[in-house]
Each structure stands twice: as structure tokens, then as C-alpha cells.
């Protein structure tokens, strides 16, 4: 499929814009599909492309503008598709290229876009590039990856012989020994995910060619996985070993490395500069700072449109360690999100999210998934979507899906969980019960249980045996029960999404945080010369009194709330448990 044909399809769908159009996504909402867990069309227990196609009307009714598709490329599935063995083919468990072409066509026919996950910090060790690279030290693709000899004076393959002391994000060392060539290769994630060497211009050219191939096929952009890891300090120095840790922290030497801006600007020139239309580039950037994000998202610098930052989803962890959870303080959440709103207020743009495939379920983490599940899920939607930025809805979030109560370690599927459990029980002296308790709140499998379509067997996700257990609360929390219910969580999401589409204050208004020191109330204003919005959210299970000390809100127009009735904006006002009230003047 050629570029002209792809652009024609966009134009026919009414979604073509001018060159470098960066305004459209300010009023857009993105929906993330994790294909393995979304909908299974053939009964093999794994979600697939045809399953997604069959549910597009559900997404269209919800009102979302963009579908972000987690990886469906050919893969050994060591990390559920984030280990790619062929960037230009579809893994048979998900379908075919023809299925993907149909998905693109049907999305465009409904006025929606498709953003693909781009995973180019690393490949699978089964990718032909790596197979060539590891075949010999003299192979032309040897330096397409990071190879290093053992530590001086040590024999390869022995503990401590790794070139650096870096630990992998998935436990264990970040280096794997290759006995055939006598050297180690770097893998910041699984040993089956070797890191590409972006210092090599041939690597970058190959990546850009692949990206162009997908855009020519009709894809509308990319969400770029850990893209701020691609530039590394080429000296690869040892990292600091923290107390209680087995390995050093290499992140200062690869997070936002010395050539990261150069690489992203080159990518923009090579892939997008010659194209007209509306595209989206989102950089997932663990460890990115506010100041760095301003540079990455400044339109004048031509790098990415927005970044995913992780500051606010690390606030309920001791020292950023997800296996050491702690209670979240609302004042810290407001301080974090408020700082990002302020910093990117004039230049750049925010991504807004509570959850994704790597995070626990939003209502279980930030709300109350028991007595107040529905109202807290609605409150969380309203507060997030009315910030300045582009909101992301993770599949099932619009239904108020909750965390899963896993039992034994055998119930889990995530490589991060399985590797941590093995390391913690084998090398760190923790008991199985201790580790399972620490895993429960924030593990990634919480988000990966199948979407709950109805109350039938396996929640309507599959007619076979699901690849991961279905949450038993699907009997009561499911799409069939919510789509036509005007008071459901799903219907509330439709309302807040429509508000972003139709209310310029939401898409373009300035942001001002109110009551920053209140431990229970999240309050802010959105402002334009034409008017103001006041957003009030109660982050507690108790009644709270709110006073923003502005009597003129008494005459304001109610806009949206998550209880059937709510009164005027007269101050002070009382918010019921997990209540949301929004006013316009």
C-alpha cells in the first residue's frame, strides 16, 4: 500500500489536516488496546485483530478518536509481544497483515486513527538482525547491538564477569554471555530482548525505513516504547548498588542519554517531515524530568508530540520500588500533576493517564473498588480528562474494571513478576507469602486480565481457555450491563469524552491548581477569556466540605457530576464520598 493510497484513506475519513498539524490531538482521546486480552475471535484463548474489528462499534460509541494498539508484530512472546522478531509482519496468534489492513480501513471509516506501538530500544534475540549480530565478531551487523568482552581478568560466564554491574528491569544482570563469541550483549529488559545500538547509523536507517513502511500502509503514528533509553553513554560505566539490591543502577547512563534529542529530531525528519496529515508521536519515557519533557514536546524542536512520564504512578511506592507499596497521599499527587501542568502550560503537551498495560487498575489503585467502585471510577475519569493534555483510556477502565486477586505464583503470566518472585525467594531471603503479598497491589497482570464483555463463561472474551484468568467479578462488571445504562461508568466516560470534544475550555483552557494542601479534595480551574470551569473531586470515602473562597461560583452552571443530583457552586459546598462536581461560568 503506497503513501498516496494511505493519505487518500485518511482524507476520505475526514481526518486529513495540514502539514505538521498539532492541534487536533488537543481535543482527542486515545484508547489503548492490549490485543492479547481484548477480544478473541477464534477460540484459542488469546485476543486477536479480528476480535478488535468486531468490537469497533463499541469504541466508536464510546467516542474515542485514536486506538493505540500494543504490539502485534511477529514475536516469541517472551514479553507479550514487546520482543519483536519481525517488525513488518503480524504474529499468527493475532492474525495477518490483511487483518491489520482491514482494521486500519474500518477505523478510518469510523473517523478514528490507529497508533502502533513502536519498540525499537531492543528487538527479540530471534530477530534476523540479532541472529546475524551474534553469529561472529566480524559480522557486519555485530555492532547493531551492544557487545562487550568480560570484565578484565575474569572468565566469561562467571558471576561478576559481566562488563558492567547493571541490573535488568526484569531482575538479574543486564548482560547475557554468548559462549560462541566469548562476549556479552546488553539487555535492559529480558535476556531475550537485546538492546539495539543506536550509535550505528545503519540501525537508525533501518528503523526509519520500517516506520515509513507502516505509515505508507495507513498507520497514523506511533507510541514509542522506552524511547528515551535509545541513547546510551558509550563508556557504559558501573552503576550505584543500593542497599538490599543485587545489581547496580545503570539508568543514569541510558535515561535521556547524550544523543537522545539528536536521534528523535533525525527520526522526525526521516519519517514525518515529508508527509501531510494528522499524525501522533508519543514517547514513553521512564525517568524523564519536567524540564526534559518541555524540550521533547516543544513543537519548534520537532521531536515528539507528547511524553508518557511516570512520576505520578511512582508516588505509592517506597523509593520507586513497585514491590514496596505505600499509601498514596493526595497532596503529593496534586503536587506532581500540577507541576507537569504548569511546566507544559505554554510549551509542549501532556499525556494524561491513570493506567495502562504496565499499571494496576485505576479504580483499585486511586479509587475505591468496593463500596464506591462506580462513583470513584467516574470521579477519576472526570478529574483526569478535564486536565490540560490528551487523555488515555486503558481497555476496561471505561467499565470500572478492578485488580485481580491472584493466588499462587502459578496464576501469574508476567515475566516481570515471575523473575522477581524467583530472585526474591532464591537470592533475597523472602518467603513465598511475603513476595506474593508485595506483588498483589501493583503487578502488571492486574491490567492484563481479559476485557469483561458480558456475564457469560469467560466474560465473553473467548469460547476457549483464556491465556490468563478472567476476573470473577465479570458477572456484575461487564460491557453488556453498561452500554445501554445511562448511569453506568461507560456512559459517564462517554460524557467526559464528549465534553473534551465540545468544550474549548477543556481542550485549550489554562490550568490552575486550587487547594493544593487539602488531603482529600482535588480542585482546579480551567480558564479562557470566554469562561472558566471549576472541577472538584473528593478522593475519599467520607463527606468533605469544600471552599475555594470565590462566592461568584454560586451562580455558575452545573456541567457534570457523578451523583444523580448536585446543587449549585455556592461556597462552601459539601461533596459526598468520591463525588465529582464540575461548574462553568
> In the predicted model, is pLDDT for residue 385 greater than 60?
yes
Q: Are 483 and 539 in a shared domain?
A: no
Q: Are residues 35 and 97 in the same domain?
A: yes
pLDDT band at 339 (very low <50, low <70, confident <90, very high): very high
Structural domains counted in the chain: 2
| In-domain check, residue 248 | no
- One domain for residues 456 and 572: no
374 & 332 share domain: yes
User: What CATH number is attached to the domain comprising 528?
Assistant: 2.60.40.1180
Is 412 part of a structural domain of the chain? no
Is a pLDDT exceeding 50 seen at residue 1? no
Whether residue 310 is contained in a domain is answered as yes
The yes-or-no verdict on residue 493 having pLDDT over 60 is: yes
The question of whether 225 is a catalytic residue gets the answer yes
By CB atoms closer than 10 A (0-12, 13-18, 19+), residue 471 is buried
Mean pLDDT to the nearest integer, 14-43: 80
- Quick check: is 284 catalytic? yes
Lowest mean pLDDT among 409-413, 500-504, 541-545: 409-413
Identify the H or E element spanning 88. Answer: strand 86-90
Q: Are residues 113 and 45 in the same domain?
A: yes
What CATH number does residue 384 fall under?
A: 3.20.20.80
Q: In the chain, what is the straight-line distance between the N-terminal and C-terminal CA atoms, in Å?
A: 50
Is the per-residue pLDDT at 563 higher than 90? yes
pLDDT digits (tens, 9 = 90+) for 272-326: 999 999 999 999 999 999 999 999 999 999 999 999 999 999 999 988 888 888 9
Are 457 and 578 found together in one domain? no
Same domain, 458 and 526: no
Q: Which residues contact 70 (CB under 8 A, 6 or more apart)?
A: 32, 33, 34, 35, 36, 81, 117, 357
> Has residue 17 got a pLDDT over 60?
no
Q: Which of 442, 461, 492 finishes a domain?
A: 492
Shared-domain flag, residues 336 and 274: yes
Mean pLDDT across the chain, nearest whole number? 93
Q: Which of 248, 294, 230, 221 is nearest to 17 (CA)?
A: 221
pLDDT tens, residue by residue, 112-162: 999 999 999 999 999 999 999 999 999 999 999 999 999 999 999 999 999
332 has a pLDDT exceeding 90: yes
Both 522 and 479 in one domain: the answer is no
Q: Is residue 154 part of a domain?
A: no
- Give a yes or no: residue 127 inside a domain: no
Quote the pLDDT of residue 27.
96
Q: For residue 302, is it left (φ>0), alpha (ψ between -120 and 50) or beta? A: left
What is the 3-state composition of the chain as percent helix, strand, coil, each rounded to the nearest 5?
Answer: 35, 20, 50
Q: Note the pLDDT of residue 22.
A: 67
Q: Are residues 457 and 567 in the same domain?
A: no
* pLDDT in the model for residue 12: 42
Which one from 79, 195, 225, 414 is the annotated catalytic residue? 225
CA-angle at 355, arms to 352 and 360, nearest 5°: 155
Do 325 and 218 share a structural domain?
Answer: yes
Report whether 293 contacts 340 (CB < 8 A): yes
* Better pLDDT: 15 or 504: 504
Domain that holds residue 544: 509-584
Q: Which of 443, 461, 492 represents a domain boundary (last residue)? A: 492
Helix/strand/coil (H, E, C) string of 157-180?
Answer: CCCCCCCCCEECCCCCECEEEECC
CB atoms within 10 A of CB 558: 14
48, 83, 91, 284: the active-site residue: 284
Percentage of the chain lying above the pLDDT 90 cut:
83
Closest CA to 406 of 390, 417, 397, 392: 417
Task: Name the β-bridge partners of 573.
Answer: 546
CA distance linking residue 203 with residue 398, whole number of Å? 39
235-244, 314-323, 393-402: the lowest-pLDDT one: 314-323
In a domain, 381, yes or no: yes
- pLDDT beyond 60 at 16: no
DSSP string for 483-504: TT-TTSHHHHHHHHHHHHHH-H
| CA 305/CA 223 separation, integer angstroms | 10
Helices 373-385 and 489-502: crossing angle in degrees, nearest 10, is 10
**Residue 551: Cβ-neighbour burial (10 angstroms; 0-12, 13-18, 19+):** exposed
Shared-domain flag, residues 209 and 262: yes
What pLDDT was estimated at residue 23?
86
Instruction: Tell me which of 438, 459, 492 is where a domain ends.
Output: 492
**DSSP 8-state secondary structure symbol assigned to residue 150:** P
- Note the pLDDT tens digit of each residue in 509-558: 999 999 999 999 999 999 999 999 999 999 999 999 999 989 889 889 99
Q: Quick check: is 75 in a domain?
A: yes
| Confidence class for position 19, pLDDT limits 50, 70, 90 | very low
165 located within any domain? no
Look at the block and give the residue holding cell 486550587: 514
Report which of residues 486 and 318 the model is more confident about: 486
Q: Which is more confident, 22 or 355?
A: 355
Amino acid at each position: 500500500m503506497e503513501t498516496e493510497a494511505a493519505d487518500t484513506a485518511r482524507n476520505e475519513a475526514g481526518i486529513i489536516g495540514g502539514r505538521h498539524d498539532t492541534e487536533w490531538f488537543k481535543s482527542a482521546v486515545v484508547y489503548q488496546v492490549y490485543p492479547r486480552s481484548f477480544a478473541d475471535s477464534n477460540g484459542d484463548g488469546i485476543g486477536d485483530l479480528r476480535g478488535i474489528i468486531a468490537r469497533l462499534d463499541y469504541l466508536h460509541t464510546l467516542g474515542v478518536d485514536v486506538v493505540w494498539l500494543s504490539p502485534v508484530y511477529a514475536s516469541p512472546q517472551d514479553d507479550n509481544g514487546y520482543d519483536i522478531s519481525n517488525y513488518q509482519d503480524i504474529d499468527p496468534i493475532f492474525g495477518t497483515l490483511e487483518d491489520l489492513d482491514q482494521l486500519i480501513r474500518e477505523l478510518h471509516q469510523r473517523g478514528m486513527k490507529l497508533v502502533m506501538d513502536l519498540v525499537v530500544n531492543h528487538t527479540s534475540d530471534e530477530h534476523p538482525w540479532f541472529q546475524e549480530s551474534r553469529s561472529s565478531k566480524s559480522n557486519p551487523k555485530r555492532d547493531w547491538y551492544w557487545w562487550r568482552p568480560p570484565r578484565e581478568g575474569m572468565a566469561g560466564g562467571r558471576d561478576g564477569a559481566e562488563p558492567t554491574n547493571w541490573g535488568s528491569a526484569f531482575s538479574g544482570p543486564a548482560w547475557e554471555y554468548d559462549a560462541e563469541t566469548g562476549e556479552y550483549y546488553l539487555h535492559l529488559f529480558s535476556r531475550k530482548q537485546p538492546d539495539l545500538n543506536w550509535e550505528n547509523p545503519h540501525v537508525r536507517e533501518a528503523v526509519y525505513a520500517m516506520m515509513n513502511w507502516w505509515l505508507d500502509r495507513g498507520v497514523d503514528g506511533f507510541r514509542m516504547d522506552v524511547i528515551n533509553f535509545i541513547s546510551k553513554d558509550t563508556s557504559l560505566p558501573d552503576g550505584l548498588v543500593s542497599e538490599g539490591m543485587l545489581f547496580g543502577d545503570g539508568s543514569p547512563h541510558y535515561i535521556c542519554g547524550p544523543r537522545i534529542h539528536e536521534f528523535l529530531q533525525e527520526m522526525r525528519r526521516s519519517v514525518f517531515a515529508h508527509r501531510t496529515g494528522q499524525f501522533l508521536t508519543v514517547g514513553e519515557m521512564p525517568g524523564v524530568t519536567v524540564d526534559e519533557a518541555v524540550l521533547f514536546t516543544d513543537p519548534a524542536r520537532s521531536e515528539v508530540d507528547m511524553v508518557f512520564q511516570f512520576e505520578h504512578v511512582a508516588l505509592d511506592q517506597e523509593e520507586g520500588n513497585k514491590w514496596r507499596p505505600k499509601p498514596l497521599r493526595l497532596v503529593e499527587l496534586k503536587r506532581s500533576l500540577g507541576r507537569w501542568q504548569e511546566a507544559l502550560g505554554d510549551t509542549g503537551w501532556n499525556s494524561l493517564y491513570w493506567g495502562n498495560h504496565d499499571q494496576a487498575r485505576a479504580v483499585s489503585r486511586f479509587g475505591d473498588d468496593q463500596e464506591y467502585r462506580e462513583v470513584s471510577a467516574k470521579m477519576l475519569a472526570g478529574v483526569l480528562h478535564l486536565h490540560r493534555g490528551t487523555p488515555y483510556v486503558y481497555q476496561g477502565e471505561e467499565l470500572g474494571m478492578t485488580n485481580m486477586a491472584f493466588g499462587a505464583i502459578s496464576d501469574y503470566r508476567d515475566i516481570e513478576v515471575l523473575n522477581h518472585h524467583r530472585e526474591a525467594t532464591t537470592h533475597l531471603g523472602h518467603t513465598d507469602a511475603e513476595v506474593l503479598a508485595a506483588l498483589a497491589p501493583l503487578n502488571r497482570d492486574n491490567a492484563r486480565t481479559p476485557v469483561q464483555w458480558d456475564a457469560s463463561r469467560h466474560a465473553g472474551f473467548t469460547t476457549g481457555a483464556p491465556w490468563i484468568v478472567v476476573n470473577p467479578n465479570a458477572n456484575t462488571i461487564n460491557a453488556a450491563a453498561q452500554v445501554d445504562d445511562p448511569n453506568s461508568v461507560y456512559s459517564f466516560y462517554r460524557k467526559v469524552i464528549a465534553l473534551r470534544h465540545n468544550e474549548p475550555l477543556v481542550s485549550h483552557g489554562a490550568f490552575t491548581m486550587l487547594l493544593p494542601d487539602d488531603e482529600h479534595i482535588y480542585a482546579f480551574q480551567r480558564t479562557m477569556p470566554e469562561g472558566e470551569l471549576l472541577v472538584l473531586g473528593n478522593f475519599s470515602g467520607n463527606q468533605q466540605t469544600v471552599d475555594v473562597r470565590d462566592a461568584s461560583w454560586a451562580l455558575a452552571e452545573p456541567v457534570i457530576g457523578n451523583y444523580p443530583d448536585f446543587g449549585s457552586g455556592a461556597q462552601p459546598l459539601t461533596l459526598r464520598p468520591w463525588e465529582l462536581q464540575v461548574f462553568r461560568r
